[in-house]
Amino acid sequence: MFLATAAEIREEIESSALLTHYEAVDVLWVALLKVANKYAGNDEYVRMRSLVNDLPEAKLTAILNSPSVNALLDLDPPLETIPTDLHERLHPDEAAEAIREVRGKRDNDPRSAMLAFGGILKTIRNKREHGFKSSKGRRDVQILKAARGALATLCDLALAECRLL
């Protein structure tokens, strides 16, 4: 079994600075998963939850109140309300609930809020990966730019604070 080293993950994070928002979102999401994969657990969510539990609450709160996160939470129209393709399935109720949870818990329960926000980031990354985001669409670029900012900050924090690296 191969698990990436901290130096390899750092190199991937740093290389994302040279990429477009479209490309960087995927690289940063995978880098974050590589940090989470250092934890035990049968699935991605369990490992990601363990990683979030290892991160300082004050720093999670700061990320959750950052301009990048607010850009995603304050999108108008909101996430998951505008299809970009005939085959895209939208989940507006789930997205709205995650946004409410982040807004409601980011200051008093940042771990729960970050897990909800992680779901938002995963949806954005998956939509990008499955062809429902482009590098040219104005709204797509707005979403991907904000996701990139949040992911980059989260990756830096995870790499700095993860006790398993």
Mean pLDDT by 10 residues, the chain (165 residues): 83 97 96 95 95 97 98 96 89 97 98 98 92 86 96 97 80
109: containing domain: 6-161
Flag whether 18 is in a domain: yes
Cα–chain center distance at 56? 17
Q: Say if pTM beats, i.e. exceeds, 0.75.
A: yes
Domains of the chain: total: 1
3-state secondary structure string across 95-141: HHHHHHHHHHHCCCCHHHHHHHHHHHHHHHHHHHHCCCCCCCCHHHH
Flag whether 1 is in a domain: no
| Residue 1 pLDDT | 53
Flag whether 16 is in a domain: yes
| Residue 44 pLDDT | 94
| Residue 2 pLDDT | 63
